[in-house]
Structure 1
């Protein structure tokens, strides 16, 4: 068993692409991060941790971390490989606050990391990865999908912060930078009725698909089908642009959204856990 680190994102991607594409939906987060590292490296301020574990030149595990964000793990049938990643991170004195990955792999890493550091871990969020290839027809809420513009900045900032607080209990370190980037990329969409009532964002790209994130409706507009309409229309728009798949992650603590997404045509492909570490 051999662990190899990479300094160059393109070289790393060339090596891991086939392995990650064997389960594109489950690996959409890693593929998307790799794509961003190659095409928009300015979005990350620190040197990333990019590593693979091999047995006889065959990859058995992949790990990525773009500080200050969580470590992200691939699927792996060899949990010793996951433990090797924990040992390597410990040796290079990486400070890890959380790990994100498929359920078995992320817990194996959490156990290994805590045995090395003396910390404890707890489940922060249980998630499910979904994939869509065709949008199902659903009854349409009133309104239409529109692209967000600079004039929406104040609303986007307010909704972005509300989404973060509701989803993970804290706000991203620089929400304005996120908004500026996504407006520049024409990636944020809003559902417009008599007023603006819901939003969703086109996220990172994979070779054959795109992830949708930040699906949010303020409490006063919920229960009217706006989020479903916004997500369904955006998903169809992205498929029409040539993407074969749309991906998204859901919080398993919210059964309503998990049900709605499946009505639209998203099918579950696997579960992910996010563990945080406590001193």
Structure 2
């Protein structure tokens, strides 16, 4: 995945990153205009994609985080996953990729999800929401800097949706980030996913007005 953020010298930056990394390209994300330009720079404008859309970028100053009542009253708890829960979280990762990103459930996707969950666990960058003894929702930080984090991979199993679990798990993860002096969180979501937009706005996220581009290629590009 190439993540672009180069308002100037974009061709030089993209070409240097691809050359230096030596990695295949599974997709491109970043400001929408830069994503489109990057496809052109790399000669990938007509390459078949699983997903190619502009999404809404949301931002939240963590001092303005709104805590859901269920979390504040300890009706649910947000915590780091236990090792014995990682197999379930890998299954959730597969389900998220199929539903949200249009991927196909394949052995390679399952292996990739195993690695993603293991990496998040090693870095302490993902959280589960627990109601009683049951895991009901999941959230992760796709990227993290000392003062800002990017939320991603938010997943609630379909049978458990509509209960406010997603906003509680995201808020819980951001309470932890705020305790570590992180100042801001960002995330992006599809224009068509109005349910997710409502969830994030309920805990204080606001749209920035910027369009965020996300492209996932059908096949990894060498």
Please report the TM-score for the alignment, with normalisation by the length of structure 2. 0.77
- Cα 1:159–1:120 change in 2 (3 A) is closer
- Cα 1:274–1:172 change in 2 (3 A) is farther
2:163 is the alignment partner of 1:235? no
State how far apart, in whole Å, the 1-side matches of 2:175 and 2:98 are.
Answer: 29
- Cα 1:119–1:84 change in 2 (3 A) is farther
Partner of 1:157: 90
Matched residue of 2:124: which SS?
coil
Long gaps (5+) in structure 2:
104-108
Long gaps (5+) in structure 1:
1-69
Partner of 2:54: 126
Q: How does 1:58-97 map to 2 (within 5 A)?
A: 70-76=1-7, 81-83=9-11, 96=25
Q: Once the 2 structures are TM-superposed, how far is the Cα of residue 87 of structure 1 from its aligned partner? A: 6.9
* RMSD between superposed Cα atoms in Å: 3.0
- Work out which of the two has the higher radius of gyration on C-alpha atoms and give 1 or 2: 1
Give the structure, 1 or 2, with the largest relative contact order (CA under 8 Å, sep 6 or more). 2
| Structure 1: 4+ residue segments shifted above 3 A | 81-98, 111-114, 117-123, 275-279
State how far apart, in whole Å, the 1-side matches of 2:45 and 2:172 are.
Answer: 48
Partner of 1:148: 81
Partner of 1:11: none
Q: Once the 2 structures are TM-superposed, how far is the Cα of residue 153 of structure 1 from its aligned partner? A: 1.8
Decide which of 101, 119, 125 is 1:168's aligned counterpart: 101
Q: How does 1:35-114 map to 2 (within 5 A)?
A: 70-76=1-7, 81-83=9-11, 96=25, 98-114=27-43
- Paired positions, count: 205
